Amino acid sequence: MADREERRFAEVSRDSVKLMAESAGVDLGDDVAALLAEDVCYRLREATQSSSQFMRHAKRRKLTVEDFNRALRWSNVEAICGYGAQDGLPFRSVKEGELFFVEDRDVNLVELALATNIPKGCAETMVRVNVSYLDGKGNLEPQGAVPTAVQSLSDDLLKYYQQITRAILGEDPHLMKVALLDLQSNSKIAALLPYFVYVISGVKSVSHDLEQLNRLLHMVKSLVQNPYLYLGSYVRSLVSSVMYCILEPLAASINPLNDHWTLRDYAALLLSHIFWTHGDLVSGLYHQILLSLQKVLSDPVRPLCSHYGAVVGLHALGWKAVERVLFPHLPAYWANLQAVLDDYSVSNAQVKADGHKVYGAILVAVERLLKMKALSLSQPAEGATNAQSGSVMGAMGYRVSSPGLSPPPEPLSEAALGIASHLQAGGAGCPWEEWTPVPLPAMYCELYSFFGDSLAVRFSTGPGFGSYPPCTPSQLSDTRKEPSGPASNPDTTRKMPQLTANLNISPRQDGSPRTDPPPPSLAATGSGRTLARSSSVQRSRSSSSRSGQRSTGLVFTAVEKPLEEELRAEVEELRRFFLQENPCVEEGRLGKLLEKALSVHHSDVNVLNAEADERRYDFTSSLYFVIATLTTMGKTWCIKDIMHESLFFDLENNVI
């Protein structure tokens, strides 16, 4: 329709008519030309008006050349050919003559005919259905996602894009939060995804600015968490951006004052989050990630911060990744690290500090590895322990096999290496493609050889535990512990050299030099003896004897058993219920979270309440966050406990 401004219609001037006539070889008088011009204008308007109904019936908003031609055809006027193309026609003007024309480029037919790049036909028309609103409420999934179409942005989207990127990369933290939140919940931004991914890929250009990197990572997080977005192949791009933050020696890390470690930790978390939630979108993603992490790790030229990144990345990807990549590489890598750590020269101070970071990260990773490994070993035995499950069951969900029945550790007393018949290689340096699982004892032995006592906190070793130093005396500063193992068990277990994960001990607690009593252990461990609980610091101070602990345990068991069992059953019921309702939650992780939360709770940090307030923080991510932050951060040497707590909150705030 014509615009409603002063000039309502396009007009054809008298001169134009005259010119046309001249070109056709007719000489027109002025008045004739004027009349003609007027008539032409009228006819044009008429045709335009009648063409609009074709537009309306085609249910479009845009009047096309086709519509106009139809109107012409129905009024018995020849259609105008040559303007049917969908793309806009460039309209040019010549200044001197005040002439406007449509640019008509020459088309080289020969070139066109011989061209090798045959244009693709457009995809087949199809109908796709999706439930848009269930019971009149809420979008379940984005409607009509067209994965391949390269969409041109509408004005609204463009505006949205500009506002969001400006807000996220801008100065105002509040604005950023709002923007991130919207990014996380907006269901209509599918078309913008490529653009956001592109923005995020800009991490490479801002590697000097930690703040910006952080913000971009938050953006990744929001996108990943947006339930309406189908990331598709963009996952790869996002992962590569995140990996950049994890692995690259960022420009920002030159200055030791910059806390790029946190960034790497956060990026690692994010990586694992992307991987767990969207890993299935790209095949082979896991292997690619592992490969690149391995490459970095095995490259001695890389700075320590890169190595650190690789380790936390592996750690974030789960203990299996650690077992596959980190563990085999450890012997080779250890030498390098040791060299750094042993250099006490002043010039090396900074590097050494970095080295300690790496050391800490590795330690955390392998400890988790050992724990999980032990857990996975004990799991199969579960079925057999039915009879005792009531007492064996850990309140926090860890089923630790009853020592007497746990089969795998049997041969431990014989040798550290290569005992099990299926064990073929020690594991060191063996590429993960031909990776064979290393039995836990062997692994433990090997790791112990690296870390020494720092590692021993994880396991208690039986008296007959080969060539290794006997289990460090447990810290028994408290009697509140409730070693709830079956009272009949201790005897058998004592004789049986074994390796059982004491899963209720968090690394943080262990690492903390705190002197206040650790929380009551709700986990049922096989026997009091396995409750070895010490830290590198505390170990030296521990004084109680193992037998003493056992006896106290027995007493307590006897006294408190009925009540405790009741409580335990209740908690167990709760836990099972929760797991049923949230199938996405892995049992092990839940346990871990709760364990952590409880332990933190006992340090007077009210994690659970904080979480309850934090609605925007979805469960899985918070789970990951809490676990990984605590496990990663908790073990880094130099961080003091108090600092640690504040850090925890800092991070918590950051993530929002």
Partner 1 sequence: MAAVQSGVGDGVEEKDIKTEPPTDGFGNNANDGRVLSSSPGSSAPAASGKPAAGGTPEDQQTLLAVLQFLKKNKLTESVEILRREAGLPEDAQDAKGADSSGSGGAAGSVDLEGGDASALLSRVTVSSSAAAQAPTKAAEDQPDVNVVLSAYSQQGDPALYEVYYSGLKRFIETVLDCHRAELSQVFYPLFVHMYLELVYNNHENEAKAFFEKFSGDQECYYEDDLRVLSSLTKKEHMRGNETLLDFRTSKFVLRISRDSYQLLKRHLQERQNNQIWNIIQEHLYIDIFDGMPRSKSQIDAMSGSLAGEAKREANKAKVYYGLLKEPEIELPLDDEDEEAENEEGKPKKKKPKKDSMGSKSKKQDPNAPSQNRIPLPELKDSDKLDKIMYMKEATKRIRLGTDNLPSICFYSFLNAYQGLTAVDFTDDSSLIAGGFADSTVRVWSVTPKKLRKVKSAADLNLIDKESDDVLERIMDEKTASESKILYGHSGPVYGISFSPDRNYLLSSSEDGTVRLWSLQTFTCLVGYKGHNYPVWDTQFSPYGYYFVSGGHDRVARLWATDHYQPLRMFSGHLADITCTRFHPNSNYVATGSSDRTIRLWDVLNGNCVRIFTGHKGPIHALAFSPNGKFLASGATDGRVLLWDIGHGLMVGELKGHADTVYSLRFSRDGELLASGSMDNTVRLWDAMKAFDDLETDDFTAATGHVHLQDNSQELLLGTYMTKSTPVIHLHFTRRNLLLAAGAYNP
Say how far apart CA 403 and CA 426 lie, in whole Å. Answer: 26
**β partners of residue 92:** 101
- Closest approach of partner 1 to the CB of residue 34, in Å: 12
- Closest approach of partner 1 to the CB of residue 204, in Å: 30
- Closest approach of partner 1 to the CB of residue 36, in Å: 12
- Closest approach of partner 1 to the CB of residue 193, in Å: 13
**C-beta closer to partner 1: residue 66 or 478:** 66
Q: Which 164-193 positions form the footprint of partner 1 (CB under 8 A)?
A: 188, 190-191
- DSSP for 391-447, written as a single string: HHB-TTS-B---TTT--TTGGGGT-SSS-STT-----TT--GGG--PPPHHHHHHHH
Pick one of 154, 162, 255, 606: the residue that binds partner 1 (CB under 8 A): 154
Token pair for 536 = 């590198």
Looking at 118-126, 236-244, 283-291, 621-629, which segment touches partner 1 (CB under 8 A)?
118-126
Binding mask 190-229 for partner 1 (x = CB under 8 A): xx--------------------------------------
CA distance to 413, 417, 440, 441, per residue, from 444 (Å): 13, 10, 6, 5
Query: Rule CB under 8 A: is residue 137 a binding residue for partner 1?
Result: yes
Tell me the site size for partner 1, rule CB under 8 A. Answer: 53
- Closest approach of partner 1 to the CB of residue 188, in Å: 6
- Closest approach of partner 1 to the CB of residue 262, in Å: 38
Query: Rule CB under 8 A: is residue 134 a binding residue for partner 1?
Result: yes
β-strand pairing of 91-94 with 99-102? antiparallel
**β partners of residue 102:** 91
Looking at 1-9, 498-506, 536-544, 593-601, which segment touches partner 1 (CB under 8 A)?
1-9
Say how far apart CA 228 and CA 648 lie, in whole Å. Answer: 30
Q: Which 358-417 positions form the footprint of partner 1 (CB under 8 A)?
A: none
**Burial class, 114, CB count within 10 angstroms (exposed 0-12 / middle 13-18 / buried 19+):** exposed
Which H or E element spans position 117? none
**Burial class, 411, CB count within 10 angstroms (exposed 0-12 / middle 13-18 / buried 19+):** middle
**C-beta closer to partner 1: residue 39 or 570:** 39
- Closest approach of partner 1 to the CB of residue 153, in Å: 10
Say how far apart CA 84 and CA 65 lie, in whole Å. Answer: 6
Pick one of 16, 143, 163, 348: the residue that binds partner 1 (CB under 8 A): 143
Secondary structure class of 138 (helix, strand, coil): strand
Q: Which 299-328 positions form the footprint of partner 1 (CB under 8 A)?
A: none
| Residue 454 · residue 535 · CB < 8 Å | no
Helix axes 285-297, 327-342, angle to 10 degrees: 30
Cα dihedral 504, 507, 512, 513, rounded to 10, equals 80
Looking at 143-151, 199-207, 310-318, 590-598, which segment touches partner 1 (CB under 8 A)?
143-151
**Burial class, 428, CB count within 10 angstroms (exposed 0-12 / middle 13-18 / buried 19+):** middle
In three state form, how does the secondary structure of 27-74 look? CCCHHHHHHHHHHHHHHHHHHHHHHHHHHHHCCCCCCCHHHHHHHHHH
- Closest approach of partner 1 to the CB of residue 21, in Å: 20
The number of CA neighbours under 13 Å toward the Cβ of 542 is: 23
- Closest approach of partner 1 to the CB of residue 73, in Å: 9
Binding mask 72-111 for partner 1 (x = CB under 8 A): --xxx-----------------------------------
Token pair for 417 = 């290496």
- Closest approach of partner 1 to the CB of residue 100, in Å: 22
Which letter does DSSP use for residue 362 in this model?
H
**C-beta closer to partner 1: residue 61 or 105:** 61
Query: Rule CB under 8 A: is residue 1 a binding residue for partner 1?
Result: yes
Say how far apart CA 618 and CA 649 lie, in whole Å. Answer: 17
**C-beta closer to partner 1: residue 133 or 577:** 133
Looking at 131-139, 271-279, 318-326, 643-651, which segment touches partner 1 (CB under 8 A)?
131-139
- Closest approach of partner 1 to the CB of residue 31, in Å: 14
**C-beta closer to partner 1: residue 75 or 350:** 75
**C-beta closer to partner 1: residue 150 or 612:** 150
Token pair for 392 = 């064996």
Cα dihedral 279, 282, 286, 288, rounded to 10, equals -150
Say how far apart CA 67 and CA 53 lie, in whole Å. Answer: 8
**C-beta closer to partner 1: residue 136 or 284:** 136
- Closest approach of partner 1 to the CB of residue 281, in Å: 20
Query: Rule CB under 8 A: is residue 10 a binding residue for partner 1?
Result: no
- Closest approach of partner 1 to the CB of residue 139, in Å: 8
Query: Rule CB under 8 A: is residue 13 a binding residue for partner 1?
Result: no
Binding mask 38-77 for partner 1 (x = CB under 8 A): xx-xx--xx--xx--xx-xxxxxx----x---xx--xxx-
Looking at 149-157, 166-174, 355-363, 398-406, which segment touches partner 1 (CB under 8 A)?
149-157
Pick one of 129, 257, 301, 612: the residue that binds partner 1 (CB under 8 A): 129
Taking CB atoms within 8 Å and a gap of at least 24, the contacts of 170-174 are none
Angle among Cα 260, 264, 270 to the nearest 5 degrees reads 140
- Closest approach of partner 1 to the CB of residue 227, in Å: 15
Looking at 2-10, 277-285, 442-450, 625-633, which segment touches partner 1 (CB under 8 A)?
2-10
**C-beta closer to partner 1: residue 149 or 574:** 149
Residue spans of alpha helices (H) in 318-348: 319-321, 327-342
Pick one of 133, 198, 577, 649: the residue that binds partner 1 (CB under 8 A): 133
Secondary structure class of 165 (helix, strand, coil): helix
Q: Taking the CA atoms of the chain, what radius of gyration do you get in angstroms?
A: 35
Which spans of this chain sit near partner 1 (rule: CB under 8 A)?
1-2, 8-9, 38-39, 41-42, 45-46, 49-50, 53-54, 56-61, 66, 70-71, 74-76, 122-137, 142-144, 146, 149, 151-152, 154, 188, 190-191
